[in-house]
Amino acid sequence: MRKLVITCLAIFATAGVALGQGLTIWTTVSDQTLEWLQAEATTFSNAFGVPTNVVKLDLGELKQQALLAAPQGQAGDLFVGVPHDQIAEFALGGVAADMRSFATSAYLADLSEQARNAYAFQGNLVGLPMWVEGPALIVNNDLVDTIPATYEELIELAQSLTTDETFGFMFDAGNFYFAYGWINTFGGYVFGSDASGSLIPDDIGIGTEGAIRGAQAIKDLQYEHGLIPAGTNYDVANGIFIDGALAMIYNGPWAISQYQAAGLDVSVHPMPPLADGTPFSGFMGVQGVLLNPFSAQRADAANFAKWITRTDAQVSMAQLSGRIPASITALAQVEGDPFISGFGEALLDSEPMPNVPQMSNVWGPGESALSVILESEGSDVAAAMQRAASEIRGD
């Protein structure tokens, strides 16, 4: 990899690009991931004589400043830690370069299909993926002896563990982000796609028969199976799990540190498939690095982007921060970490959140439909989902 970067730097130098002027890296990451990024920046600077400056911003500020300041040459050279569902605004605003010419075939081949698709927008590669995240089945091992093999068995086990003192299974059922696992698994979708995999925003699948079946399955968890009490939200479900009174929860890697701090013995697994073999497939997110097309140091910036997305860098990132590498090779090298490998396996069947601007029209109607569906046993699931689809279309 060192030889590759040196070769690239030499190519850019012969093209007349001035090197060594220094890079400014804007990032949204924090805690151990920020420490990792700062360490990688220092190593890059020492190896190639390119000064680096890492600046921490929250996502909203980074996006706003990039859109306003990049064309004037006053933004960072790179934007690190941008969620893939935000890249459309950067791309349409002209402040994210197409990185197809910088991404090697080996790097792209080493990404999961979901990670590649997540950063694809209007035929361009808008950034280089670095890590993935999304919910999975998290189990309290003190309450669960055997992981259920099917979704139906999960329900049976959860019912047997729902007592006066414990609960069997919960999640934030009214949150469309989490609920999409049921909607998608039972045959629904947000937007359709064409043969190339590009999303078709006019093809809305929230009101389809599959989506209705998925929403009904969520409702059944509350009313038919008696697993999720009315009014349960993220804080309620997560709090009960932290207290050790919940056997299984559908949640993401961001919660693991809380569970460890609570002294819980937990493990991570894919949500089990349906009895007919249909894999459970919810949302996943991908984060990576974007290149500012107005950067005066595009050569150095592109090489730093490749530097922090190389396999060794993703391995060290995972080891230090618990992030799940987008690189398949890097993920295999940290498979000894049960949490990373557990989420990594769970996300193999997940679907990237749509990265088109029209996705912003989905969250409100989707969650309104779930609220109606869960508020009473007599609610009309089909009507609620079809109304949501109509609102998304703007009918």
* Cβ proximity of 180 and 190 under 8 Å: yes
186-209 per-position pLDDT tens digit: 999 999 998 877 899 999 999 999
Task: Return the structure tokens found at 325.
Answer: 């590498």
One domain for residues 257 and 267: yes
Same domain, 293 and 221: no
In this structure, are 70 and 210 located in the same domain? no
3-state secondary structure labels for all residues of 56-85: ECCHHHHHHHHHHHHHHCCCCCEEEEEEHH
CATH code at position 290: 3.40.190.10
The answer to whether residues 147 and 17 belong to one domain is no
Q: For the chain (length 395 residues), average pLDDT per consecutive 10?
A: 38 32 93 97 96 97 97 96 96 96 92 91 94 97 98 98 97 98 98 88 97 98 97 97 98 96 98 98 97 96 96 96 95 95 94 95 97 96 98 93
Would you state the pLDDT for residue 4? 40
Summarised one tens digit per residue, pLDDT across range 120-153 is 999 899 999 999 999 999 999 999 999 999 999 9
240 and 363 together in one domain: yes
Domain shared by 309 and 299, yes or no: yes
Strands 52-56 and 128-133: unpaired
Range of the domain at 50: 2-133+285-352
- What was the pLDDT predicted at 198? 85
- The whole-number pLDDT of residue 21 equals 65
Give the model's pLDDT for residue 15.
28
Cα separation, 345 vs 333, whole angstroms: 14
Does residue 246 share a domain with residue 359?
A: yes
Return the SS3 of 24: strand
3-state secondary structure (DSSP) of residue 40: helix
Token reading at 16: 């007349």
d(CA 302, CA 8): 9
Domain count, the chain: 2
Q: Are 287 and 185 in contact (CB under 8 A)?
A: no
Angle between helices 298-309 and 2-14 (to 10 degrees): 170
- Cα separation of 274 and 315, whole Å? 33
Q: What is residue 19's predicted lDDT score, i.e. its pLDDT? A: 34
Please check whether residues 85 and 39 belong to one and the same domain: yes
From the number of C-beta atoms within 10 Å of its C-beta (0-12, 13-18, 19+), residue 339 rates as buried
216 with 273, same domain: the answer is yes
Q: How far is CA 301 from CA 209, 222, 290, 291, in A?
A: 47, 51, 10, 7
Q: Is 258 in the same domain as 146? A: yes
Query: For 222-234, how does the pLDDT look when each residue is reduced to its tens digit (9 = 90+)?
Result: 999 999 999 999 9
* 363 and 293 assigned to the same domain: no
Q: What is the pLDDT of residues 5-30, one digit of tens each?
A: 333 333 333 222 333 369 999 999 99
DSSP string for 136-183: EEEEETTT-SS--SSHHHHHHHHHHT-SSS-EEEE--TT-HHHHHHHH
| Co-location of 199 and 342 in the same domain | no
